[in-house]
Structure 1
Amino acid sequence: MTLYYSLVFLLLVAEMVIFMALIVPLPFTWRRKLFTFISESPIIAKLQYGMKITFIFILILFIDSVNRVYRVQIELAAAHKSQNTGGAAVLGGSERMEVQARKFYSQRNMYLCGFTLFLSLILNRTYVMILDVLRLEEEVKTFRGDPATKGGKSLKDAGNVGEVAKLKEQLAAKDRDMANLKKQVESMSAEYNRLGDQVSGTDSIPKKDR
């Protein structure tokens, strides 16, 4: 197995571990803190962006493996058709084993990339469904006056992974821009007052009679 397919296999194992961690039954308070952290963590947001790029490369590998499987299937079909029509054997014993080995590796790579992509969709959908369930459970507990919903951050404003963190970063950037703009306005106002004082002082000098 080549290096990139080994990395794809490790990613598949990591996805299975994450999926098992998501479906593990936990108390409501623990789950709320966990998903709030996932929604607001900037590290998770950057990791999610990197994973999107990674899945694009895995999709390219999946398409390439499908193409390889298709070409090997055509090669085997052509050899089998030639043998059935009484022609010369296109593939010998060793050559046929080599083609069968290429077929096996191509199918293995196709299944590996395909299951990795499929599990990524399942993970995303599972996360969204668990988050919706937590929101509904939090609303029910709030209506019932359950103290477990107090003293923690609400999940109502939590969106996709890292969305809250991105909004916080944008808000901080807006605050910095406003602070810089305020300093510029104050500087321009001070300069305007200084020029106004100079003009007022010049106008107050009496002119000499001609």
Structure 2
Amino acid sequence: MALYYNLVFGLLVIEMIFFGILSLPYPRSVRRTILQTVSAPFRNEQFQIALKCILGFVGVLFIDSVNRVYAVTSELHSSTQAHPGSSIMNDRSEIQARRFYAQRNMYLCGFTLFLTLILTRTYNLVVELIATKDKVDELKHEETANVSAVNDGDSEEILKLRAQLAEKDETLELLKSQASSLNKDYDEVSELKIRK
């Protein structure tokens, strides 16, 4: 394997380790510390430029390996259609070996590029998840503080309002009973008038 494919394989291993670190279930404080540590180099502009160049180089290697796979596959098909012979069989096995290496390089570069896309999306999702959980905790804390403040400071006012509400309920019940008795009296009077 050529040196540049060894470097691509190293990049793939680094990405797999980073993805494993992102995927493990850590407590939120540990995960936040890990993300801050890991994201520190990505804030550097020179590092971002170098990373984009490396990924561009891997993309070029991927395109080249796809072209090689296509060329070797077409060469293998043309040798298969030729007349069988001992020298042709040796050439065919050599072509199959080149096809294997070209496919290996294509898969290596393709998986590296694909895992790069997955890693960036996973990293962003983990950062959003931590921010959302922090916001939910803040809202729960504020709600608890508001409830305790209502229970502590405004309890006298709440008791006064509840007493007033109880008085209004009693008055309402009294008015309902008076209305029902007046309605009953009216019905009796109207029946007497109808009989006369």
Q: Structure 1 length as normaliser, TM-score?
A: 0.61
Structure number with higher relative contact order (C-alpha < 8 Å, ≥ 6 residues apart): 1
C-alpha separation between the residues in 2 aligned to 1:136 and 1:29? 14
* Higher helix content, 1 or 2: 2
Amino acid at match of 1:16: M
The structure whose Rg is larger is: 2
SS of residue in 1 equivalent to 2:51: helix
Deviations 1:34-73 (A, max 9, x none): 334445x3x3333333211101000000000000000011
**Where does residue 103 of structure 1 map in the other structure?**
99
Gaps of 5+ in 2: 143-196
**Where does residue 44 of structure 1 map in the other structure?**
42
Gaps of 5+ in 1: 147-210
**Where does residue 16 of structure 1 map in the other structure?**
16
Greater displacement, 57-66 / 90-99: 90-99
Amino acid at match of 2:75: E
Paired positions, count: 140
Amino acid at match of 1:5: Y
C-alpha separation between the residues in 2 aligned to 1:50 and 1:9? 17
Would the aligned equivalents of 1:68 and 1:106 in 2 still touch at CA under 8 Å? yes
SS of residue in 2 equivalent to 1:14: helix
Would the aligned equivalents of 1:15 and 1:120 in 2 still touch at CA under 8 Å? yes
Q: Structure 2 length as normaliser, TM-score?
A: 0.66
Cα RMSD after superposing both structures? 2.0
Change (3 A) 1:94 1:81: closer
Deviations 1:134-168 (A, max 9, x none): 1110100111129xxxxxxxxxxxxxxxxxxxxxx
Change (3 A) 1:91 1:74: farther
Percent identity among equivalent residues? 44
Q: How does 1:50-65 map to 2 (within 5 A)?
A: 50-65=50-65
Would the aligned equivalents of 1:82 and 1:90 in 2 still touch at CA under 8 Å? no
Greater displacement, 74-83 / 137-146: 74-83
Match status 1:130 vs 2:132: no
